[in-house]
Amino acid sequence: MATSKFLGYLESRKNITGAACGIAGLALTFMGVAGPYWPVVVAGLYGAGALIAPPERPPLPDFPDPSAQLDEVRADFGRLRDYLADVELPPAAAGRLTELTELLTALLDPGWVTELLAQDPEGVHTLSRAVRQDLPEAVDTFVRTRWWTRLAPGQEPPERHLERQLTLLHEEADRLAAGLREAEARRQESHTRYLEDRSQ
């Protein structure tokens, strides 16, 4: 541990700057400027250089880039689809779930859409939250609430809440897709303007 700290200091900015100033002190000594006090001059210049050197900056944490995050979300979505295949839903809710999963599949399919999505951290977060939290929570809550409703009939049918939740999640995913579509449209318009300006 002490050896690694020492080696780290040898490579530090403080040591390199101090050494450069110390060498300047030796040069002054050879020119006869420092006189008999040259050790003090060299040590003083080394210390001054070490003090004025910029501090070491610790390396930034190595977080996964959005593309790697999308790969993880895609894998989680595969597991979620396996879970959803085993859940029995009423026809209306099942239809809305199918629409939602088809849209999520299109957004997560590898290709130019995910390349565009990888440039939108908020979009990646929205997809991640839908896949890992909102959708499984909506379906699981429905399954548990439906069991209790069978024991105490007369309550509001839980499928109404599920249908509303799936509709809201679809609207959110649709807004994300629309944003990506608009970004591509702006890019196309920009390229058209660039070509028009170039031809003038």
Give the pair of three-digit tokens for residue 162: 């599920």
According to the model, what pLDDT value does residue 9 have? 65
Dist. CA 88–CA 143, nearest whole Å: 9
- In which element (H, E) is residue 84 found? helix 66-85
Segments making up each domain of the chain, as ranges: 2-52, 66-199
Written as tens digits, the pLDDT of the chain (200 aa) is: 556 665 666 567 777 777 787 787 777 777 776 677 777 777 877 787 777 777 766 777 776 677 778 889 999 999 999 999 999 999 999 999 999 999 999 999 888 777 888 888 888 899 999 999 999 999 999 988 887 666 566 667 788 999 999 999 999 999 999 988 888 888 888 889 888 888 87
With 0-12 / 13-18 / 19 or more C-beta atoms within 10 angstroms meaning exposed / middle / buried, residue 118 is middle
Question: Would you state the structure tokens that stand for residue 17, as one six-digit string?
Answer: 């700057």
Residue 37 DSSP symbol = G
66 with 118: CB under 8 angstroms? yes
- Of 13, 130, 151, nearest to 73 by C-alpha is 130
Token pair listed for 167: 């509709």
Q: What is the pTM of this model?
A: 0.65
The whole-number pLDDT of residue 191 equals: 87
13's tokens = 């900015």
- The pLDDT value recorded for residue 114 is 77
> What single DSSP character describes residue 33?
S
